[in-house]
Structure 1
């Protein structure tokens, strides 16, 4: 093969790679405003400041967005999350967990994160307030900047094949079915590495994905939440 032909072939593959990346990126796109106002810096509750607790594991908390919007929880953004988009699971946060029931939190003060950083992460965590909270409450205990923290959260999230949930006609699934949806899509994931969370009305709110100190899937240290046989109510997507 001549050098010109080889160069042409390399150029073609490069173009295809760029096109493929653009397509993949567009599949993850969501509707975001042209500009945002970052949330103000949070004043940490004194009883939640734990600066000297060592990190023993990590956890990626995934909100079931339809329930967040239905319940109108403070963490959800009424426009970006609940009107402009139709999300399934969104990232609540990436959490360093301690060796016991107390976890690292609010390790250092931080000003509001930049508008550019908020915009860059709204398709992952569609709430300016929640982005600020997660950085201050969790990110400051491990990372040097909001950008580094959210970059790691994106990397962890993108390694997972997060399922969409489709409850039956009665709007329910068992907790085991929720776990099975994750296990089916993620090789190496085990049921004891998932914590299925419900509220007082037995509605699915979150799924926590547990990891070790190397961010590899691992058994949850704090239990697995709702047992498999329990029927939970799953708010459907629009």
Structure 2
């Protein structure tokens, strides 16, 4: 590429090339962003994320992180299996976040959700990052979480898991599909860390019916096998 000045070709400096490249990359990133970015209520579907709590707690223990009150509640005496990590508004590509940074969550609403999301800090964060993008008020958003969770049956073999279980991500998907008639294979994704099952993510339309979500499905765990630590106290 050259730039003409007084009729003579002048090559741009390295600094100019870097600036041009940066502008180009910025334009590419902007074009990839959904035009509705961070407009509350303007999204395509939800992802219900169900976290395997024993994996979370074992990961935290390995990090030597005593955690705050939220972690102590989740990883304390009460046995938790799958818990709700969140209900996330999504675009077909990408997602909105922090659509109203000034919004606050009433403590009474937070405490009402501890049976499904056993960590106060998680509940506050999910409202700020994801709930404010739903277009719903705080109470309506968490009522929607409760309805979404009620629409999904946990396979019985995972409810009171008493000993470590080695599974393939496909086996977990198959178990959820069997327990939830109408759940298509491209509406569910299992995620993992280096060795443990982390989450099961299920895609739902705004009316909470199961629906396909290719981008979420592509991000599923690629490992052949993962471990599910037992339910605490099991």
What TM-score comes out, normalization by structure 1 length?
0.70
Q: Is the 8 A contact 1:204 1:232 kept in 2?
A: yes
CA offsets 1:177-217 (integer angstroms, 9 cap, x no match) = 11122112111112221111011x13110010012243210
Residue 71 of structure 2, aligned match among 63, 78, 87: 78
Q: Is the 8 A contact 1:62 1:90 kept in 2?
A: yes
Give the aligned CA root-mean-square deviation in angstroms: 2.5
Distance of aligned partners of 1:167 and 1:126 in 2 relative to their CA distance in 1, 3 Å threshold: closer
Measured after TM superposition, the shift of residue 75 of structure 1 is: 9.4
Number of the residue aligned with 1:193 = 187
Residue 212 of structure 2, aligned match among 187, 194, 219: 219
Provide the C-alpha distance between the structure 1 equivalents of 2:102 and 2:136, rounded to a whole number of angstroms: 11
Provide the C-alpha distance between the structure 1 equivalents of 2:208 and 2:72, rounded to a whole number of angstroms: 33
Provide the C-alpha distance between the structure 2 equivalents of 1:110 and 1:56, rounded to a whole number of angstroms: 24
Rg larger in structure: 2
Distance of aligned partners of 1:177 and 1:94 in 2 relative to their CA distance in 1, 3 Å threshold: same
- Equivalent position SS for 1:237: coil
Provide the C-alpha distance between the structure 2 equivalents of 1:110 and 1:147, rounded to a whole number of angstroms: 17
Number of the residue aligned with 1:93 = 86
Residue 106 of structure 1, aligned match among 79, 91, 98: 98
- Equivalent position SS for 2:189: strand
Residue 152 of structure 2, aligned match among 154, 160, 163: 160
Number of the residue aligned with 1:38 = none
Residue 131 of structure 1, aligned match among 103, 120, 123: 123
Measured after TM superposition, the shift of residue 118 of structure 1 is: 1.4
Q: Is the 8 A contact 2:169 2:190 kept in 1?
A: yes
Provide the C-alpha distance between the structure 2 equivalents of 1:80 and 1:89, rounded to a whole number of angstroms: 15
What TM-score comes out, normalization by structure 2 length?
0.71
Provide the C-alpha distance between the structure 1 equivalents of 2:207 and 2:103, rounded to a whole number of angstroms: 29
Number of the residue aligned with 1:210 = 203
| Unmatched 5+ stretches in structure 2 | 1-36
- Equivalent position SS for 2:73: coil
Provide the C-alpha distance between the structure 1 equivalents of 2:90 and 2:166, rounded to a whole number of angstroms: 31
